[in-house]
């Protein structure tokens, strides 16, 4: 039987979607061969005509004036031909200016151009991305960050061009999604020629940073005293810093008004005193200190524009008034500010306060955009097998390929670079392949011959919504498909007539399968109830009468219908087992492994699937009793009788309850995936023998051929077609997909992916009205910049700008296939290193305490047998002597998790002793653990041991781990502080709040022992929760629930305000994702809450940097104060154990 539509094509795509990390094409591992494009201008974007959709690009104009030509090119879209002049450029990011020249980033490289405009020349050309160029005060040098050595580091090079020199060597935090920004973010230069950089070395996760000064002369970078910060600039004398304490410059959320709305502050680096300059509810960022004035960008009027703050008068005025695109990445030079707007560079003159565009032309090629041959075997999305298993069809990078099981060529069926084909399904007769294509500008259903020689035939027209994978009827006359309007359709293959089958009431209708006779369509939906939708269930649609009927009574969760070969039985998964599992830590339990595989006779007259067994002579005419179909070859005639369906339902004997999926059936057998801690295993259940057997371990997705004799599977990064039987060896029937190659024009693919991203947001965003915005107009606003994309990261930038316009949290972009450098992890010792200037030696500073039983929290210098102490001098690493101006981390490059010999001594002149250690790749966990323990110690010290402390870094795995770890040991504290600051969210924290809300319900007296209680672990005393702007998502929900349940005061500052959620979205052709928010929080009174506002504190406390530098923690200190006051007013006590009753007397 043909499987349900969702069972393979969509599941294969979901394998790439779930938990996806940025896809970065490592240079040197799969480097594509480069070839010049014949379809576009040399070194520039291809002509507008190459796209299937007009982007408004007129033909190029020749003039005698270069400046006029460039201005016209910038005002218009990409020219169709530009032989006379270099093409105009846009998407010029991260600019800086120094008098007569500017630098900027384009195509992942740093470029230089005249400040008045003109032809730019490339300064860097490494395959990795060079970012954040900043020019030295004398104009002689450019600092930037790059990945030349395998991690992102700070480099410097002559401003005229030359060989870059690496200045930092401490390994970065690694690639992050675009919204996370980057490590080694160059802020600028100090007046004395040092580089101000934000490095992500804080206790609160990889996206937070603090400031360091990097000396081009060498040595270890020096931290500033501020504990955290974002965009910043030093004062002209270098004694003060204008900065944003909160960072969100990379977020894809415009006009945010929650707890991470930014303000500009000043910090006096000598007096250690802070001052807040701006207080608008909007975002004020990128401060630039020019004499007695600080410029910054602000969205207080909607669009980000430049503002000026006068330090003497404390007055504020707006100095630019753009309303089309935001002013982005402004940077201050001696005479001007340069910034990006709409992809162009603009110069704001400090003296005249006039703004003018800088017309830039780029005549060089963009290597990341060059046409090349690409191996797309790692980019498979949907796939399907032919009816006999002779071939398989793959969708990869928007093209359809068929691959032979053994012999023959790989065929590219579609060859449509400007369109994307996906979700192929092979017709039952083997002649045709159905698939979805966006060739018309919307996804429509097509059918074409399996050899690709005939023109495709379009079955659906006028589509306006994302479609879901097709499924053929057994006779090939009908195709079913769903869409994002939650509708299920059947289309007639010959005539194209559409029939609406159903509309989902709780989600998409994305799992459906025809009966063997093609007269019924089974699909997943939800049982209707008087108050909304009920549990998931299975419905059957009759093509004869056009009616749908629910199967079952709605009391169990049923899913994944699969018809038996003869159509008499329906197999399905159902959650109706209750396997109790106890917690290791306390008397608590949950139910898991609750699914089994069930079969139900659809016709009451059908013989039992598993008749009573007795050895008897069976006359030949008795017929089939095992769901094998009619031995005489008669076509099945399916009868569906909903009445009595529950009573006719049985579990497959011998299959234990567990976690199952991808159910499919063939004649005499049922196949399914079993999921456990070791992964997934494909199983086969023999209906005659009544037992299951393993087919193959590690199978992630599979499909049975139409005749049920072949098995198409994906496992361990490979694909195969093998006999459908138990006991297959790993790799059986492995397919050779090495010929899945295309000639890839990135610019054409980027245009298609932009349109896909726009459509995905349109059809998956929780609000069909798109928050009132004209989504089509917004799509065109940023689509006109797509021809200027020269690097995959620039497409991500456009996606971020586009989705940010909806003013919603959880609108995310995940990177696709982009060039990268193979990562090389540097070693770290789990300590701070300090320079002893007198001796030129480095000294061991603070050593982070670890939990060495857990590899994730291992601290190398504290492991058994390692004789290294705070104050020791680090004289050499692996025999290489270490002295200033060398950087100690240069000697640890590439040495993470490898044995390293340190030479240490208690004085800089001693001979030293040799100690072998094993450095870690990251100190983030150690810094976090160190900070948490210091907060626990502070709460204990300030309260005299009466107040406990629990920090929750998120509401996902790490946060729940910390709750389990710290809650049970502190329930006997009289009061508790729950620290939600820097909580990165994750799960909806209803389980976490259950722990915090527990109260003792009763006590139990025991002989000669302290009484126990129920629950065994509960906290009855007062509590307080600390919050700040970095607490978001689940970190918003947790304090909201805490406050709603009246568990105690919220102390600190307003939370992020991101209570709108994500559930997944289709991948783009290259594996990237544009992820829209699909559900939003509102309160029990039916009002929107928290999203884009945050949860406000009951007691506002700002954790001023000067207090933190002095070793304090204002929010925690206030919490201790309030909790001690609460304990004074309402002491926590336990009732005494009453005297046991004397039962000796008369009753």
Q: What pTM, to 2 d.p., does this model score?
A: 0.91
CATH of the domain at 996: 3.90.226.10
Q: Which residue, 26, 8, 748, 34, is CA-closest to 380?
A: 8
Q: How far apart are CA 972 and CA 947, in angstroms?
A: 10
Q: Please check the confidence at residue 668 and state whether its pLDDT lies above 60.
A: yes
* Predicted pLDDT of residue 978: 98
* Predicted pLDDT of residue 51: 31
Strands (DSSP E) found in 773-872 = 812-814, 818-820, 831-836, 841-847
Q: Based on the domain organization, do 1021 and 888 belong to the same domain?
A: no
* Predicted pLDDT of residue 67: 35
Q: Based on the domain organization, do 869 and 766 belong to the same domain?
A: no
Domain span at residue 259 reads 229-332
Judge contact between 241 and 235, C-beta under 8 A: yes
Q: Please check the confidence at residue 64 and state whether its pLDDT lies above 70.
A: no
Query: Is residue 156 situated within a structural domain?
Result: no
pLDDT tens-place string over residues 436-487: 999 999 999 999 999 999 999 999 999 999 999 999 999 999 999 999 999 9
Q: Which residue, 69, 371, 68, 67, is CA-closest to 59?
A: 69
Q: How far apart are CA 682 and CA 686, in angstroms?
A: 13
Judge contact between 788 and 1041, C-beta under 8 A: no
Judge contact between 330 and 295, C-beta under 8 A: yes
Structure tokens at 488: 């299920």
Q: What are phi and psi of 538, to 5 degrees?
A: -120, 135
- Residue of higher predicted confidence among 1043 and 34: 1043
* Predicted pLDDT of residue 364: 84
Judge contact between 597 and 570, C-beta under 8 A: no
Q: Based on the domain organization, do 1117 and 982 belong to the same domain?
A: yes
pLDDT tens-place string over residues 499-536: 999 999 899 999 999 999 999 999 999 999 888 789 99
Q: What are phi and psi of 712, to 5 degrees?
A: -105, 125
Residue with tokens 């006028």: 462
Q: Based on the domain organization, do 932 and 799 belong to the same domain?
A: no
* Predicted pLDDT of residue 941: 98
Q: Based on the domain organization, do 892 and 910 belong to the same domain?
A: yes
Report the percent of the chain where pLDDT is more than 70: 91
**For residue 268, with 0-12 CB atoms within 10 Å meaning exposed, 13-18 middle and 19 or more buried, which class applies?**
middle
169: left (phi over 0), alpha (psi -120 to 50) or beta: alpha
Q: Based on the domain organization, do 939 and 1036 belong to the same domain?
A: yes
Q: Please check the confidence at residue 619 and state whether its pLDDT lies above 80.
A: no
Q: Based on the domain organization, do 889 and 784 belong to the same domain?
A: no
- Tell me what the mean pLDDT of segment 711-722 comes to: 96
pLDDT tens-place string over residues 577-590: 999 999 888 888 89
Q: Based on the domain organization, do 857 and 992 belong to the same domain?
A: no
Q: How far apart are CA 293 and CA 375, in angstroms?
A: 54
Four-CA torsion 573, 576, 579, 585, nearest 10 degrees = 100
Question: Which run of H or of E encompasses 104?
Answer: strand 101-106
* Predicted pLDDT of residue 531: 83
pLDDT class of 13 with cuts at 50, 70, 90: very low
Q: Specify the DSSP class assigned to residue 635.
A: P
Q: How far apart are CA 98 and CA 353, in angstroms?
A: 17
- Tell me what the mean pLDDT of segment 704-719 comes to: 95
Q: CA gyration radius for the chain?
A: 33
Strands (DSSP E) found in 419-519 = 421-426, 432-437, 444-449, 457-458, 471-472, 478-482, 487-492, 498-503, 512-514
Query: Is residue 929 situated within a structural domain?
Result: yes
Q: Which residue, 596, 588, 589, 591, is CA-closest to 579?
A: 591
* Predicted pLDDT of residue 622: 52
Q: Of 311, 332, 353, which residue is a domain's last?
A: 332
Query: Is residue 679 situated within a structural domain?
Result: no
Structure tokens at 622: 């008795």
* Predicted pLDDT of residue 618: 67
> What angle is formed at CA 1136 by the lines to CA 1135 and CA 1141, rounded to 5 degrees?
120
Q: How far apart are CA 933 and CA 849, in angstroms?
A: 9
* Predicted pLDDT of residue 71: 36
Angle, to 10 degrees, between the axis of helix 1114-1129 and the axis of helix 924-943? 40
Q: Please check the confidence at residue 1112 and state whether its pLDDT lies above 80.
A: yes
Q: Please check the confidence at residue 25 and state whether its pLDDT lies above 80.
A: no
- Tell me what the mean pLDDT of segment 122-147 comes to: 96
* Predicted pLDDT of residue 10: 40
Q: What is the tally of structural domains in the chain?
A: 4
Length of the chain: 1147
Q: Based on the domain organization, do 940 and 867 belong to the same domain?
A: no
Query: Is residue 54 situated within a structural domain?
Result: yes
- Tell me what the mean pLDDT of segment 687-713 comes to: 96
- Residue of higher predicted confidence among 487 and 1: 487
pLDDT class of 81 with cuts at 50, 70, 90: very low
Q: How far apart are CA 1031 and CA 1023, in angstroms?
A: 18
Q: Please check the confidence at residue 34 and state whether its pLDDT lies above 70.
A: no
CB atoms within 10 A of CB 162: 12
Q: Based on the domain organization, do 893 and 955 belong to the same domain?
A: no
pLDDT tens-place string over residues 765-797: 999 999 999 999 999 999 999 999 999 999 999
- Residue of higher predicted confidence among 1069 and 80: 1069
Helix boundaries (H) for 665-815: 746-764, 775-783, 792-804
Judge contact between 977 and 948, C-beta under 8 A: yes
C-alpha distance from residue 359 to each of 70, 326, 807, 929 (Å)? 6, 18, 31, 51
Four-CA torsion 67, 68, 74, 76, nearest 10 degrees = -160
> What angle is formed at CA 231 by the lines to CA 225 and CA 234, rounded to 5 degrees?
60
Four-CA torsion 505, 506, 507, 510, nearest 10 degrees = -70
Average pLDDT score, the chain? 91
CATH of the domain at 890: 2.30.42.10
3-class DSSP assignment, residue 1072:
coil
* Predicted pLDDT of residue 213: 98
pLDDT tens-place string over residues 280-314: 999 999 999 999 999 999 999 999 999 999 999 99
Structure tokens at 409: 């060529």
* Predicted pLDDT of residue 568: 97
Query: Is residue 238 situated within a structural domain?
Result: yes
Q: Please check the confidence at residue 52 and state whether its pLDDT lies above 50.
A: no
Q: Based on the domain organization, do 912 and 929 belong to the same domain?
A: no
Strands (DSSP E) found in 316-379 = 316-318, 328-332, 336-341, 344-349, 355-358, 360-362, 372-375
Query: Is residue 303 situated within a structural domain?
Result: yes
Q: Which residue, 191, 154, 200, is CA-closest to 332?
A: 191
Q: Please check the confidence at residue 1119 and state whether its pLDDT lies above 70.
A: yes
Q: How far apart are CA 544 and CA 546, in angstroms?
A: 6
pLDDT class of 620 with cuts at 50, 70, 90: low
Judge contact between 1026 and 1097, C-beta under 8 A: no
Q: Which residue, 1075, 1077, 1034, 1031, is CA-closest to 1056?
A: 1031
- Residue of higher predicted confidence among 57 and 9: 9
pLDDT class of 1046 with cuts at 50, 70, 90: very high
pLDDT tens-place string over residues 406-447: 999 999 999 999 999 999 999 999 999 999 999 999 999 999
Query: Is residue 348 situated within a structural domain?
Result: no
3-class DSSP assignment, residue 97:
strand
* Predicted pLDDT of residue 55: 22
Beta strand 478-482 pairing with 471-472: antiparallel
pLDDT class of 621 with cuts at 50, 70, 90: low
Strands (DSSP E) found in 253-365 = 265-268, 273-276, 284-290, 293-298, 305-310, 316-318, 328-332, 336-341, 344-349, 355-358, 360-362
Question: Which run of H or of E encompasses 716?
Answer: none
Judge contact between 709 and 724, C-beta under 8 A: yes
* Predicted pLDDT of residue 529: 86
Query: Is residue 1122 situated within a structural domain?
Result: yes
Q: What are phi and psi of 900, to 5 degrees?
A: -130, 140
CATH of the domain at 317: 2.120.10.60
pLDDT class of 965 with cuts at 50, 70, 90: very high
pLDDT class of 12 with cuts at 50, 70, 90: very low
Q: How far apart are CA 270 and CA 54, in angstroms?
A: 58
Structure tokens at 792: 């995959």
Q: Specify the DSSP class assigned to residue 922.
A: -
- Tell me what the mean pLDDT of segment 239-259 comes to: 97
Helix boundaries (H) for 668-774: 746-764
- Tell me what the mean pLDDT of segment 150-169 comes to: 97
Residue with tokens 């299959």: 655
Q: Specify the DSSP class assigned to residue 474.
A: T
pLDDT class of 3 with cuts at 50, 70, 90: low
Q: Please check the confidence at residue 16 and state whether its pLDDT lies above 50.
A: no
C-alpha distance from residue 233 to each of 186, 187, 265, 278, 312 (Å)? 10, 7, 11, 16, 18
Q: Of 894, 920, 946, which residue is a domain's last?
A: 920
Q: Which residue, 435, 392, 418, 913, is CA-closest to 701?
A: 392
Q: Please check the confidence at residue 262 and state whether its pLDDT lies above 90.
A: yes
Q: How far apart are CA 683 and CA 666, in angstroms?
A: 13
Q: Based on the domain organization, do 767 and 865 belong to the same domain?
A: no
């Amino acid at each position: 039987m043909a499987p349900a539509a969702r069972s393979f094509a969509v599941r294969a795509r979901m394998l790439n979607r779930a938990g996806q990390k940025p896809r970065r094409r490592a240079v040197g591992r799969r480097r594509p061969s480069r070839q010049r494009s014949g379809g576009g201008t040399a070194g520039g974007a291809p002509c507008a005509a190459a796209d299937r959709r007009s982007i408004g690009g007129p033909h190029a104009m020749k003039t005698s004036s270069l400046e006029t030509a460039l201005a016209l090119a910038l005002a218009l879209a990409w020219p169709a031909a530009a032989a006379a002049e270099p093409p105009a450029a846009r998407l010029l990011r991260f600019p800086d200016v120094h008098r007569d020249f500017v630098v900027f980033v384009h195509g992942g490289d740093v470029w230089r151009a005249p400040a008045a405009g003109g032809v730019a020349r490339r300064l860097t050309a490494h395959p990795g991305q060079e970012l954040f160029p900043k020019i030295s005060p004398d104009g002689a040098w450019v600092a930037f960050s790059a990945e030349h050595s395998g991690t992102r580091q700070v480099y410097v090079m002559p401003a005229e061009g030359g060989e870059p020199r690496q200045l930092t060597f401490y390994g970065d935090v690694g690639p992050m999604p675009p919204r996370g920004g980057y490590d080694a973010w160059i802020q600028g230069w100090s007046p004395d020629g040092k580089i101000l950089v934000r490095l992500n070395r804080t206790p609160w996760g990889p996206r937070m940073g603090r400031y360091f000064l990097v000396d081009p002369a060498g040595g270890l970078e020096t931290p500033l005293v501020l504990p955290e910060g974002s965009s910043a600039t030093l004062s002209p004398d270098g004694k003060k810093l204008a900065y944003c304490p909160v960072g969100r410059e990379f977020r894809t959320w415009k006009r945010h008004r929650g707890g991470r709305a930014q303000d500009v502050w000043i910090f006096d680096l000598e007096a250690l005193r802070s001052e807040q300059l701006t207080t608008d509810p909007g975002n004020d960022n990128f401060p630039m200190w020019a004499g007695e004035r600080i410029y910054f960008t602000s969205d207080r009027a909607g669009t980000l524009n430049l503002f000026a703050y006068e330090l003497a008068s404390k007055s504020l005025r707006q100095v630019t008034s753009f309303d089309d695109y935001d002013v982005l990445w402004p940077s201050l030079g001696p005479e001007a500010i340069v910034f990006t707007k709409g992809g162009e560079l603009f110069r704001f003159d400090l003296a005249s306060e006039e703004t003018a565009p800088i017309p830039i032309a780029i005549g060089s090629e963009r290597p990341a955009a060059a046409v090349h041959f690409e191996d797309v075997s790692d980019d498979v999305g949907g796939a399907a097998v032919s009816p006999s298993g002779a071939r398989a069809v793959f969708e990869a990078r928007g093209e359809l390929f068929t691959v032979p099981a053994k012999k023959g060529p790989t065929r590219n069926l579609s060859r449509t670079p400007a369109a994307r084909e996906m979700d192929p399904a092979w017709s039952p007769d083997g002649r045709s392949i159905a698939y979805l294509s966006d060739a018309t500008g919307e996804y429509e259903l097509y059918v074409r011959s399996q050899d690709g020689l005939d023109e495709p035939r379009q079955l659906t027209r006028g589509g306006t919504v994302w479609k879901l994978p097709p499924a053929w009827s057994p006779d090939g006359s009908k195709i079913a498909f769903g869409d994002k309007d939650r509708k299920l359709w059947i289309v007639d293959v010959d005539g194209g007539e559409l029939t609406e089958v159903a509309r989902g009431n709780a989600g998409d209708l994305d799992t459906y399968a025809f009966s063997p006779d093609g007269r019924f369509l089974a699909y997943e939906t939800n049982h209707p109830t008087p108050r909304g939708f009920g549990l998931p269930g299975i419905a059957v649609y009759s093509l004869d009468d056009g009616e749908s009927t629910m199967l079952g009574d709605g009391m169990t969760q049923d899913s994944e219908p699969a018809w038996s070969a003869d159509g008499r039985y329906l197999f399905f998964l159902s959650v109706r087992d209750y396997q109790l599992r106890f917690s290791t830590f306390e008397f608590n339990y949950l139910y898991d492994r609750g699914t089994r595989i069930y079969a139900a006779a659809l016709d009451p007259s059908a013989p039992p699937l598993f008749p009573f067994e007795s050895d008897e002579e069976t006359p030949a005419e008795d017929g089939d009793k095992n769901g094998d179909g009619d031995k005489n070859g008669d076509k099945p005639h399916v009868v569906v009788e909903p009445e009595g369906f529950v009573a006719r339902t049985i579990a497959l004997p011998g299959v234990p309850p567990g976690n199952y999926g991808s159910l499919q059936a063939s004649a005499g057998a049922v196949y399914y995936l079993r999921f456990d801690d070791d992964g997934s295993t494909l199983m086969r259940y023999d209906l005659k023998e009544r037992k299951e057997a393993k087919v193959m371990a590690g199978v992630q997705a599979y499909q049975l051929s139409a005749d049920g004799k072949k098995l198409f599977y994906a496992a361990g990064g490979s694909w195969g077609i093998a006999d459908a039987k138990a006991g297959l060896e790993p790799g059986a029937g492995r397919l050779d997909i090495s010929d899945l190659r295309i000639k890839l024009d990135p610019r054409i693919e980027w245009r298609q992916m932009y349109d896909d991203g726009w459509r995905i947001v349109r059809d998956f965003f929780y609000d069909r009205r798109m928050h009132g915005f004209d989504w089509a107009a917004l799509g065109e606003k940023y689509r006109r910049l797509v021809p200027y994309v020269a690097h995959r990261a620039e497409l991500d930038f456009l996606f971020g700008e586009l989705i940010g316009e909806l003013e919603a949290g959880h609108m995310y972009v995940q990177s696709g296939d982009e060039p990268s450098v193979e990562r090389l992890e540097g070693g770290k010792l789990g300590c701070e290193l300090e320079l002893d200037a007198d001796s030129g030696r480095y000294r061991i500073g603070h050593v982070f305490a670890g939990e060495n039983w857990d590899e994730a929290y291992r601290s190398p210098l504290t492991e058994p047998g390692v004789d290294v102490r705070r104050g020791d001098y680090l004289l050499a690493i692996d025999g290489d002597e270490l002295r200033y101006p060398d950087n100690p981390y240069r000697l640890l490059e590439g040495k993470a998790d490898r044995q390293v010999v340190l030479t240490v001594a208690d004085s800089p002149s001693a001979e030293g002793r040799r100690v072998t250690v094993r450095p870690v790749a990251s100190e983030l966990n150690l810094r976090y653990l160190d900070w948490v323990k210091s907060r626990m110690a502070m709460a204990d010290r300030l309260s005299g041991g009466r107040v406990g402390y629990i920090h929750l870094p998120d509401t996902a795995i790490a946060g729940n781990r910390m709750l389990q770890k710290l809650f049970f040991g502190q329930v006997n504290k009289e009061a508790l502080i729950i620290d939600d600051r820097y909580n990165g969210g994750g799960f909806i924290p209803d389980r976490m709040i259950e722990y915090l809300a527990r109260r003792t319900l009763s006590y139990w007296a025991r002989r000669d022992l302290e009484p126990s209680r129920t629950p065994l672990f509960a906290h009855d005393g007062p509590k307080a929760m600390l919050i700040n702007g970095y607490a978001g998502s689940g970190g918003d929900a947790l304090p909201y629930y805490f406050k709603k349940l009246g568990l105690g005061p919220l102390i600190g500052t307003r939370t992020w305000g991101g209570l709108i959620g994500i559930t997944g979205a289709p991948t783009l052709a290259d594996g990237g994702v544009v992820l829209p928010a699909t559900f939003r929080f509102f309160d029990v009174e039916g009002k929107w809450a928290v999203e884009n506002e945050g949860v406000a504190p009951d007691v506002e406390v700002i954790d001023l940097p000067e207090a933190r530098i002095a070793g304090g923690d204002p929010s925690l200190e206030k919490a201790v104060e309030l909790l001690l006051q609460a304990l004074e007013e309402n002491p926590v006590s336990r009732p005494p154990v009453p005297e046991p009753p004397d039962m000796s007397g008369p009753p």
